Amino acid sequence: MRRFEFVDGNSSKFWMPEVQGATFIVTYGRIGTAGQRKEKAFPDEEAALREYTKKVAEKVREGYAEVGAGEAPAAPPPKAAVAAAPPKLVLP
Q: What is the pLDDT of residues 64-74, one digit of tens each?
A: 999 986 554 44
What is the full per-residue pLDDT of the chain (92 aa) written as tens digits? 999 999 999 999 999 999 999 999 999 999 999 999 999 999 999 999 999 999 999 999 999 999 986 554 444 445 554 455 666 666 66
Give the CA-trace dihedral at 81, 85, 87, 91, to 10 degrees. 180
Which CATH number is 4-66 given?
2.20.140.10
Whether 55 and 76 have beta carbons less than 8 Å apart is answered as no
Record the pTM.
0.72
User: CB neighbours of 6 closer than 8 A, spacing ≥ 6?
Assistant: 12, 13, 14, 15, 59, 62, 63, 64, 65
pLDDT digits (tens, 9 = 90+) for 43-57: 999 999 999 999 999
